[in-house]
Amino acid sequence: DKPKARYKRILLKLSGEALIGDGKYGISPKTLVAIAQEVKDVVELGVEVALTIGGGNIFRGVSGATEGMDRSSADYMGMLATVINSMALQDALEKMGVSTRVQSAIEMHQVAEPYIRRRAIRHLEKGRVVIFAAGTGNPYFTTDTAASLRAMEIHADVLLKATKVDGVYSDDPKKNAAATKFRSLSYLDVLKKNLKVMDSTAISLCMDNDLPIVVFDLTARGNVRRVVVGEDIGTTVGK
Ligand code: UDP
């Protein structure tokens, strides 16, 4: 028997780095397959899944800007990097028989649909995985903010923020052995303590619209499914 999912519609935010795997940059085909499998597992539970992927494995606006590029140009390059990642994940999912659509915030008719909110919702209702590419389409934003915004727009029940650690800690657990993990946090805690969950724009948006966030470790196999069926892993951020 299928376990019952806790959420009907989720938005899963993956960082670009999640695709690197053992390499130093770019996309690891093996890691891509593993992530696609995680997504497929929850689709099979009947959960409607939207994805937002970062671009940090290819290009990040801030680093371009610190090396003398105009911030906006660098950010647009970062957004294009997220399109590359979205297409890679789409390919991996489709190979597994999961039906997908990529919707880009920057129009690119040959490779992706333009972002159309109502159309995205329609895809989700039909059981397709919708991958939101090119962030918000605006420089000076991040894909975390794009994830929050899209989650709100499609009325997702939760924003799942996939990371490399199993939740939010009081300090970097890799550097400080005394760091403790929070099981739950309020949005204000995150903002006041400057905890590295997502950037403050993204957190504020979730706070103002009561969208819960679950921060969890994507590197452990089966974790997306665990979160979705309501196992108490990671850190929940809410009111
Ligand atoms: N970006 C942007 N606007 C957006 C989303 C992304 O300008 O709405 C750019 C920004 O330069 C960012 C890059 O795209 O550095 C890649 O996204 P991000 O750094 O959020 O990726 P992640 O850290 O999740 O891999």
Record the tokens describing residue 194, joined without a space: 């400057």
| The architecture CATH gives domain 9-238 | 3-Layer(aba) Sandwich (3.40)
Burial of 173 (0-12, 13-18, 19+ CB in 10 A): middle
Q: How far does the centroid of ligand 1 lie from the alpha carbon of residue 134, in Å?
A: 8
The band of 173, judged by pLDDT with boundaries at 50, 70 and 90, is: confident
Query: Model's pTM, two decimal places?
Result: 0.96
Percent of the chain with pLDDT over 90: 93
Could you tell me the pLDDT band of residue 196, with boundaries at 50, 70 and 90?
Answer: confident
Nearest residue CA, atom 15 of ligand 1?
Answer: 60
Which stretches of the chain are assigned E, i.e. beta strand?
9-14, 48-53, 100-104, 113-114, 129-133, 158-163, 168-169, 181-182, 184-186, 213-217, 235-238
Residues 108-137 have a mean pLDDT of: 98
| pLDDT band of 30, cuts 50, 70, 90 | very high
Q: Which of 28, 18, 49 is nearest to 219 (CA)?
A: 18
Give, for ligand 1, the residue of 13, 60, 86, 148 to mutate: max count of ligand atoms closer than 8 Å to Cβ: 60
Average pLDDT of 66-80? 96
Asked if the model's pLDDT at residue 105 lies above 90, the reply is yes
Question: Cα–Cα distance between 64 and 76 in angstroms, integer?
Answer: 11
Q: Where are the domains of the chain?
A: 9-238
pLDDT at res. 58: 96
Q: How far apart are CA 194 and CA 82, in angstroms?
A: 26
Q: Is the pLDDT of residue 174 over 90?
A: no
pLDDT of amino acid 82: 98
Task: Give yes or no for residue 2 having a pLDDT over 80.
Answer: no
**Which one of 27, 143, 160, 218 would you pick to mutate in the ligand 1 pocket, going by the greatest count of ligand atoms within 8 A of its CB?**
143
Ligand 1 first shell, C-beta below 6 A: 15-17, 54-56, 60-62, 74-75, 78-79, 81-82, 135-136, 138-139, 141-146
